[in-house]
Amino acid sequence: MGVLNVTPDSFFDGGRYFDLEPALARGLEMVAEGADVIDVGGESSRPGAQPVPEAEELRRVVPVIEALTRHVRVSVDTTKRAVAEAALSVGATLVNDISASLWPVAASGAVGWVAVHMSGTPRTMQDDPRYDDVVGEVHGFLVERARQALDAGVREVWVDPGIGFGKTARHNLTLLHHLPALVASGFPVLVGTSRKGFLGVLAAGPGEEPVPAAQRLPGSIATATWAMLAGAAMVRVHDVTAVSRSATLVGSTRSASDLTPAAARTSPVGAGRPGLGAR
Ligand code: HH2
C-alpha cells in the first residue's frame, strides 16, 4: 500500500502532493514501483495534528481518488463518514479508518474496511501513552471491532495495530514482536511503520536527538520486512520501490532456503535470473 497524503502538513510527504497534478503523478509512480493499493489521505494524523474541516478534506481527496481508481485499487484514509462515502462514490474500494468506527459505511458500500488501533486522538495521543498489557489491549480491541464489522456484513475486514498512534517506541516494538499473534486471529493484518517517529528514536545514539524522517528509510525497510515475515498481508509505505525490493529479496531467500545446490540450478528462484548463478 503506497501512501499518498494530499495535505500540507503530513509528517513526511506533507506539501509535496497537495495539488492534483503532483498527487496523480506520485500515485501512478507508486503503481509503477509495485504498489497494489494507493492510500489517499486529506488529513494528517501525525501527533499534534489539528482536525481538517470536512469540506476541505473532500476538496483535497475526491479528485485524486477519482482519477487514480482508473489505474489501481484506492483506499481512503479518513475518519469522516461523509469523506468515506464520497470516496466510495468515485471508486475507492477500501476504507482505511484510524477511528475504527466507519464499518457501517463499508458495509453499505460493499467495500473493504481497515480497523486501526489508536489510543486517544492525534492531537494528544503521544502525551503519555500507557497500557497495562499493550498486546492484549490492542489485539482485543481490533478483534472485537473486526467481528462487529463482519456481523454488520463487511466482507473484507483488515486489522492494523496502529504503530505510533498513542504508543511509545517500546509499545511499537512490542506490537511488532507479537505480530504473529494478531495474524493468528485470522483477519488480514496491515502494518504502517513508514518513516515514523519511533524509528528516529531507535536510530539515534545515546543522548542524541531522534533522527529526522528524511533519514528513517533503513528503519522503514527493516520494520516493513519484519512485518511481512511475521505474516502481515500488507504494509503501508512511502518508499514503495525500496520496500518491494526488500520483500522480493527476502522472499527469494526464503524460498531458496530448502533447495539443494542441484535443485537451485533448475529452480525458478535460481534459473533465468541474471547474476543469481554467479557466486
Ligand atoms: N499511519 C498513518 C496514517 N494512516 N493508516 C493505517 N492503516 N496504518 C497506519 O499506520 C497509518 C495510517 C500516519 O502516517 P502518514 O499518513 O504518513 O502521516 P500523516 O498522518 O502525517 O499524514
The predicted pLDDT at position 273 comes to: 53
Residue type, 52: V
| Model confidence, pTM | 0.93
Residue 96, CA atoms < 13 Å, CB-side half-sphere:
29
Round to whole Å and give the CA distance between 172 and 218.
17
Would you say the CB of residue 5 lies under 6 angstroms from ligand 1? yes
Between the CA of 164 and the centroid of ligand 1 the distance, in Å, is 9
The predicted pLDDT at position 60 comes to: 98
Round to whole Å and give the CA distance between 194 and 209.
19
- Which atom of ligand 1 is nearest to 238's Cα? 17
Q: Which residues pair with 40 in a beta bridge?
A: 4, 76
Q: Which CATH architecture has domain 2-270?
A: Alpha-Beta Barrel (3.20)
Round to whole Å and give the CA distance between 116 and 98.
5
The predicted pLDDT at position 126 comes to: 82
Residue bearing the CA closest to ligand 1, atom 15: 10
179-232: per-residue pLDDT in tens?
A: 999 999 999 999 999 999 999 999 998 899 999 999 999 999 999 999 999 999
Would you say the CB of residue 46 lies under 6 angstroms from ligand 1? yes
Between the CA of 192 and the centroid of ligand 1 the distance, in Å, is 7
The predicted pLDDT at position 56 comes to: 98
The predicted pLDDT at position 71 comes to: 97
Name the stretches of the chain with pLDDT < 50.
270
The predicted pLDDT at position 264 comes to: 58
Round to whole Å and give the CA distance between 262 and 86.
56
Round to whole Å and give the CA distance between 73 and 204.
37
The predicted pLDDT at position 245 comes to: 96
Catalogue the long-range contacts made by 24-28 (C-beta closer than 8 Å, 24 or more residues apart).
Answer: 24/64, 24/67, 24/68, 27/2, 27/64, 27/67, 27/68, 27/71, 27/72, 28/68, 28/71
Task: Provide the 3-class DSSP secondary structure of residue 75.
Answer: strand
236: annotated active-site residue: yes
196: annotated active-site residue: yes
The predicted pLDDT at position 106 comes to: 98
The alpha carbon of 207 is separated from its chain's Cα centroid by a whole number of angstroms, namely 30
Q: What residue spans define the domains of the chain?
A: 2-270
The predicted pLDDT at position 261 comes to: 64
